[in-house]
Every structure is written in C-alpha cells, then in structure tokens.
Amino acid sequence: MDIITSHTIQDVTKAEWTAMVRSDNIEQSYDWFRTVEHARIQDMQYLFIREGGLLKAAACCFSMEETFFSWKIPLLEIRSPFSPSPAFFSTDTTHTSFLLDGLDGLRQTSHARGFIIMGLNREQQTSMKSCPHRLSHFSMRENTYIDLPFSNFDSYLASLENSAWRSARMTLNRARRWKIKTVFTTDLAQWATEANRLQQYTCEAHNDYQWLLPPEFYHSMEEHMKGTAELLLFFKDETLLASAVVLNTPTTCYYRFPGIDPRYKKYQAYFLMYYEGIRRALERNQSRVYFGLSGYSFKERIGCKKEELFGVSRMKNPLLDLGLKAYMAMMQKRE
C-alpha cells in the first residue's frame, strides 16, 4: 500500500478518479477539482492510497480559518471546495484508518488546531464510528433538493399545495407582466465580473464571504467544465437582476452561488430562480435539483426535502471538539 501526498489532482488520471469516487456528484468530479486548482484561490492538498498501482481511496483538504463563538481557529477542512459535498473517499476500514493518520500528519505540518471531515451522509458517518481513532461526531445543516417525477412544469405546479401553487403562479405572472427575461448561458467568463458583484450582495447579507467566487473562477469553470457549467441570469430590460451558477449532470443539477441585486428586490428574482431552475431541469429530463443550504421554509413549500449531512472532527485539544459540536448545533437551528 502506498500513501501519496499531493497538491494537485493531476497526480491521478480522470478515469481512475471517476472509478474510485463512484458517484455522479459533479462537486466531487475531477473537473471540479481542476477548476478550483486552475483558479488558484484554494491551496488544495490530497491524500491518495494506491494498492497494486490502483487508486483505492483519497481525501481532499485545504486550510481554513473558521470563527467559532468569536474565536478564530485554523483548521484543516476535508470537503469538496466551495461545496457542501464530502471529499473523503474510502469504503475500507484499513484505508480509512490510514487516511485519518495522514490527515493528522497534514494538520501538524499546516499548524492547524484540528481537522474536520464534512458533508458525510449517515452511512459514511456510521462507518467512521468503527474507527479506533478519537473522533467527535456532529450533525450539520441539511442540503436541500427536490425530486422531479413530473412530465412537465405544469404538472409540477399542480403537485403543490393550494397556497404554494397560488404563490408560484403570482410570481410567474408578475415576471411575465414585468417582462423579466430568463437567460441560461455557458459564457461564464463574459459575465464573471457581474456574477461576482451580485454574489457579493448575498455574502454581505449573510456576513459570510467564505464561498465568494472571484471572476477568475468563472473563467476556470468555462475552461474545465464545458457542457456542465452554466449561468442563470435574470434581466429587466438591460438591467441584470440576479445570477446563479448551475452545474449539470445528465440526471441532476446543482444551483450554487446565487447573487441578487437588492435594489431590484421587488422583481422577485430570488423566487424566480427556483421556479425557472425546476422548469429547466424538467426540460433537460433531469430527475433531481439541489438548491443548497438555508432557506428551508420557502424550499419546503415548493416541494424540497432535506438531505442529512454529518461531520467528524479531531482537534489537538479535545475541548475544542466539544466547542465545535456546540457551535454546529447552534448553526443548525438558524434559518
């Protein structure tokens, strides 16, 4: 067994990475990590495990300074960058144990206070409990998604409860009356500066800039994610109201990094983003749409469900594990 530390996913091939991950989650794809690396906004580190020359397991991580109860703590985070998706890939307890040891070594060399493995599903979290390592387990904010067993958009609308149906119809009718234009484009680089500007409004509203994409990221997406990444744009005449990144696979799409100009809030582009996203997915015969974290009340009214997410941590000081667990519990209660 060989354990390899690297700063680039290009130390493995796309074919062997895809075979090892065994998932069509685009946020875990080879192209997504290439996009992040090429944009040069996140210094990635990888642990690869090979047996007999074959890639068997991996973990992807980066250093972050997180704020917990007003304390800034340097940590090593193991998750897909700019995403709630996990980046710890192991189905074997021996491989898992070696990856955990390797992550603890990376934590020490990066002078982090601990490491956090994020975005695990329940099965992955349960398998972690069989490891002999000292790990603290916690729940995270849920990801939201909607399944689409509908023949068309009208069929979807008809599935909503009366109040949600009326609200959707009012929003769509107003958009038609105001002549709001919906545009899906693969010219991400062309709109990079504007998308960044709009996303800054969202980050400012939540006082959270951790996932703010610089213009360079849109250029990198256009180069490395051709045919899978696009931008959703809303216009009133020539004025850009809102934008969001859309990541596509044949069966699933992911809406990420929304930005809305608060000066034009009356045009309800936030709500249009969901309805037009669902319409677009049905037109593409996609069966599921992920809408990310937060906004649970509205999303549940339009048919979304919650996907449980879990995390595990190992801090240099075990008391920090308790503090992290309490902080995550508090964050879960927030809308």
Look up the CATH number of the domain holding residue 190. Answer: 3.40.630.30
Q: What angle do CA 35, 59, 65 make, to 5 degrees?
A: 75
How far, in Å, are 61, 96, 301, 303 from residue 110 at the CA level?
A: 11, 21, 44, 43
Q: Is residue 303 part of a domain?
A: no
pLDDT band at 335 (very low <50, low <70, confident <90, very high): low
CA R_g for the chain: 21
Q: Is 292 helix (H, G, I), strand (E, B) or coil?
A: strand
Q: Is residue 129 part of a domain?
A: yes
Question: How buried is residue 108: exposed, middle or buried, by Cβ count under 10 Å (0-12/13-18/19+)?
Answer: exposed
Residue 312 has pLDDT above 80, yes or no: yes
Structure tokens at 208: 């959270």
Q: Is residue 296 part of a domain?
A: no
Residues spanned by the domain of 53: 2-141+309-332
Only one residue has tokens 């997180």, namely 66
Looking at the structure, tell me whether residues 137 and 153 fall in a common domain: no
Task: Centre a 10 Å sphere on the Cβ of residue 121 and count the other Cβ atoms it contains.
Answer: 13
Structure tokens at 169: 């119809």
List, for residues 134-168, the tens digit of each pLDDT value: 898 999 999 999 999 999 999 999 999 999 999 99
Looking at the structure, tell me whether residues 208 and 117 fall in a common domain: no
- Contact, 106 vs 5, CB < 8 A? yes
Q: Is residue 159 part of a domain?
A: yes
Average pLDDT over residues 303-331: 84
pLDDT of residue 327: 72
- Contact, 258 vs 197, CB < 8 A? no
Helix, strand, coil proportions of the chain in percent (round to 5)?
Answer: 40, 30, 25
Looking at the structure, tell me whether residues 113 and 60 fall in a common domain: yes
Q: Is residue 293 part of a domain?
A: no
- CA atoms within 13 Å, Cβ hemisphere of 78: 26
List, for residues 208-239, the tens digit of each pLDDT value: 898 999 999 999 999 999 999 999 999 999 99
- Contact, 86 vs 117, CB < 8 A? yes
Residue 289 has pLDDT above 80, yes or no: yes
Looking at the structure, tell me whether residues 130 and 157 fall in a common domain: no
Cα gap 16→18, rounded to integer Å: 5
Cα gap 238→22, rounded to integer Å: 43
Q: Is residue 104 part of a domain?
A: yes
Cα gap 200→261, rounded to integer Å: 9
Average pLDDT over residues 312-329: 80
Strand 252-260 and strand 288-292: pairing?
A: parallel
pLDDT band at 317 (very low <50, low <70, confident <90, very high): confident
Q: Is residue 291 part of a domain?
A: no
Average pLDDT over residues 294-309: 94
